[in-house]
Each structure stands twice: as C-alpha cells, then as structure tokens.
Amino acid sequence: MEGLISTIQGYSLRDGPGIRSTVFTMGCALRCQYCSNPELLEMKIRTMELNNTSTRVGKWISSEELAKKLFKDKIFYTESKGGVTFSGGECLLQSDFVYETAKLLKEEDISIAIDTSLYVPRQNIEKVLPVVDLFLVDIKAIDDTLHQKVTSQSNRLILENLMWLKTQPVELWIRLVLVGNLNDDLEDVKKRFNFIQELGQSVTRVDVLCYHNLGLSKYKGLNMTCSLSNDAFITKEYLHKLKTLIARYDFDIRIEGEE
Ligand code: SF4
C-alpha cells in the first residue's frame, strides 16, 4: 500500500509524549486561515519556491518502506516513552495507508499518535483505531459560523467524531490554536473548554497554541495568499484574561508560544 507524504521529522518533542518521529502526509479538506503547512493541503506533488530554490513537496512511499525508516529511531522512542505521530495535512484522509504502516510499527511495540482535525468520515477513524494510542485533535471554534469562517467548513462532523471518540479506549490531547482577531473570542474559547470538559477522562492534556507566522514564506513560495491580518498575534493582555478563564478548569492545560 502506498501513501503520499511530504517529510518525516525526527526527534520531535511537540507531537505527543517523548521523542517522536512525525510523518507529514499530504491532503486536507479544511482551509484554516492560519495553516502553517499550506504546501500539504493538496493531495498531489507540488513545487514550492523558497529562498530562490525550487523544492518538490510530496513523494509516494509504501507502508513497508516508511515503517523501515521509522524503525531506525526505535531506541529513542523506547528510552523516552515516545513513538511515531502521523500528521499532515490530514493523515486520516489516507487512513488505509496510515493503518498499514502503524500496524507494522505496533508489531515492534512502537506507540502511535494521530494528529488530526477529525474532519473525515467516521470509518476512516474506525480503520486506524485498533493501532492508535493517542489522538491529538484541534478544536478551532464551537460556534459553527465562526468555524466556517476559520476553516471553510462546518464543525458538526468534527464535534460528532470527538463525542464518539470519547467512548473509545483511546487517550485524547486537545489543541486550541488561538489566532488574534479570528478565533480568539473568549466566549467561544470558554465554550471550547466546556466542550472539552464534556469529553471527560479521555482528555489527559489540553494545549493552547498561540498563532505564529512561521509558515508565511511558504504561501509566497506556492503563489498563495494568506488572508490573516498583521494583528493575528496573541497579546500579553489577552493571555492574562485567558489565564483567568483557564483557572476555572481542572484539567492539564498548557500554553505554548507566549510572547
Ligand atoms: S486542518 Fe491542519 S493542515 Fe488542514 S488546513 Fe487546518 S491547519 Fe492546515
């Protein structure tokens, strides 16, 4: 079975517990205004111009070949209680490929995480579930109109999938990416935390990620336009209010990217 991926990032400390290898797959059905990986949105091989150099993005690879590459760092996964994370793009658009690869890794006792928007049919999640230990899921907005503005799509499928996932024997880390003047309305953020509370014990960690503009040069290199304004950064004043809100909740919430 072959899948379309862009890169494998080794020694990652951000995409789940311990030291991990993160596989970035191609293709995503959402169009988040703040997406920092615009080169991964289309399910096809692309060319990106960066620093006057043309870079080819995307390559087809078999599950066996990918698993073999990932096995090489098994010692780091084992020593650090880490593993492999499938990310993207939206890795669950290629759920058969992810399943086939993850199955080979599980046979070697390697822990598997899936970084997903959950904007996929339920059967794609069911496919990978037997080989997954942890799901990392973004909640981008609770208000559906706001969600459509942020991502171009309704959040109904995502929230339904999350409510279903909480009934499954799997751990959940929830991520809230906050973008100034886009999805930072504190009323909606409060609703996101309340929704997380409803997910109960499955959620073992919540990460608040403040917007960064590291992906901006890629938009230029792909002849794409990033529609975010210059005031998308999260301010200290905002963070102060956010921390007051967070104090009301008793789950493990961490803030990343404070200025
Ligand atoms: S879900 Fe992720 S990859 Fe897809 S558009 Fe949003 S930020 Fe980008």
* H helix or E strand, kind and range, residue 172: strand 171-178
Q: Is 88 in the pocket of ligand 1 (CB under 6 A)?
A: yes
Any ligand 1 atom below 6 A from CB of 26: no
Q: Work out the percent of the chain whose per-residue pLDDT is above 70.
A: 99
Task: Dump the DSSP string for 205-246.
Answer: EEEEEE---TTHHHHHHTT------GGGSPPHHHHHHHHHHH
CA 8 / ligand 1 centre spacing (Å)? 17
183 lines ligand 1 (CB under 6 A): no
Burial of 217 (0-12, 13-18, 19+ CB in 10 A): middle
Distance CA 195, CA 65 (A): 40
Average pLDDT rounded to a whole number, residues 34-48: 96
What's the predicted TM-score (pTM) here? 0.96
111 lines ligand 1 (CB under 6 A): no
Backbone angles phi, psi at 176, to 5 degrees: -115, 110
82, 76 contact by CB (below 8 A): yes
Q: Which of 6, 30, 31, 177 to mutate to test the pocket of ligand 1 (most atoms within 8 A of CB)?
A: 30
For the chain, how many structural domains are there in total?
1
> Are 89 and 119 a contacting pair, CB within 8 Å?
no
Mean pLDDT of the chain: 96
Contact between 131 and 102 (Cβ < 8 Å):
yes
The C-alpha atoms of residue 178 and residue 257 are separated, in whole angstroms, by: 10
Query: CB-based contacts of 68: which residues, under 8 Å, 6+ apart?
Result: none
* Closest alpha carbon to 82 in 169, 16, 173: 16
Q: Is 38 in the pocket of ligand 1 (CB under 6 A)?
A: no
Question: What is the CA(75)–ligand 1 centre distance, in A?
Answer: 31
Our CA dihedral for 99, 83, 55, 47, rounded to 10 degrees, sits at 30
Span 170-186, pLDDT tens digits: 999 999 999 999 999 99
Q: What is the pLDDT of residues 186-214, one digit of tens each?
A: 999 999 999 999 999 999 999 999 998 88
Q: Residue 39 sits in which domain range?
A: 2-256
Mutational test site, ligand 1, from 28, 153, 176, 178, max ligand atoms within 8 Å of CB: 28
Q: Is the CB of 172 under 6 A from ligand 1?
A: no
- CA–centroid distance, 40 to ligand 1, in Å, is 9
The residues facing 6 across adjacent strands are none
Q: How far is CA 212 from the centre of its chain?
A: 15
Residue 165: which CATH number?
A: 3.20.20.70
Whether 171 contacts 165, CB under 8 Å: no
Residue 258 pLDDT: 62
Range of weakest confidence among 49-53, 122-126, 187-191: 49-53
Partnered with residue 55 across adjacent β-strands are 48
Beta bridge partners of 54: 49
For ligand 1, what atom is nearest to the CA of residue 177? 7
Distance, CA of 133 to CA of 106 (rounded, Å): 10
Among 100-104, 162-166, 225-229, the least confident range? 225-229
